[in-house]
Amino acid sequence: MTSTTSNRARKIIVGNWKMNPSGPSDAKKIFTKIVAGAGKYKNVEIVVCPPAVFLGILAAPASTSKLRLGAQDGFYETEGAYTGSISMSMMKSLGAEYVIVGHSERRNTGETDEIINKKIKAGLKQGLKIILCVGEKVHDENGEYLKVLQSQLLQALSGVNKKYFSQIIVAHEPVWAIGALAKTSDTLESFAHNRLFIKKVLADIVGKKIGLTIPILYGGSVGLKNSKEFLVAGGADGLLVGRVSLIPDDFIKIIQVADSLK
């Protein structure tokens, strides 16, 4: 499943497992169920991003399925004295084809736009597809939050060679709508507006011809109840699914919905 112009009409469904489940046996069980249930759907690009320690054990079943593996993060240096860090090349060697960069939970630990930019360039150099997360902490009525999105995009993609933009996917994840304590997702109208704004910024960065082809995903309290609405009325090119992606039956139903929209 390569991110070329020809397949970008397909919806992209990404499951971010975050720091779950607790052990390898559970990880394999969940992934095996998703593979079995989602294997018949041909019109959707499916990516599962487990914790890095599980990538290796899930690589074999992934290789014989339509599912692809992604990493939740990666360091920008290839090797060296960086205790606890895992390089992009290491992630790739474990079977990852995608990597999430700039997730709000990483930004909350102090990750800056400069670091995100370095990670993007490192991931692209390794041939990984980048899922770049951008999002505002506060959604004000005056639209000041759009400056936050614009700044994040400009800084994250600064200096990225034009030839690599076919490997870029952007996920808009409003920070206020993420996590177990989130009270609500974004509205369809708001996301549709934000999607167009992000497309405009991307067109300004890399040109209209390429910028308008970059997929924009929605992430933020995505579940069975609102997945179809965001894909249809919201115009999302796909979804970044959090905790629901750990529930195989529900995740497969979201994939089924996306597949039916081809």
User: Would you name the residues annotated as active-site residues?
Assistant: 103, 173
Bridge pairing between strands 96-101 and 216-219: unpaired
Tokens encoding 23: 């052990």
In sequence order, which residues have a C-beta less than 8 Å from that of residue 51 and are 6 or more positions away? 17, 18, 19, 20, 27, 72
Distances (CA, A) of 140 to 136, 147, 182: 10, 11, 17
Burial class (CB in 10 A: 0-12, 13-18, 19+), 80: exposed
In sequence order, which residues have a C-beta less than 8 Å from that of residue 26 and are 6 or more positions away? none
Taking the CA atoms of residue 111, residue 241, residue 1 and residue 122 in that order, the dihedral angle to the nearest 10 degrees is 0
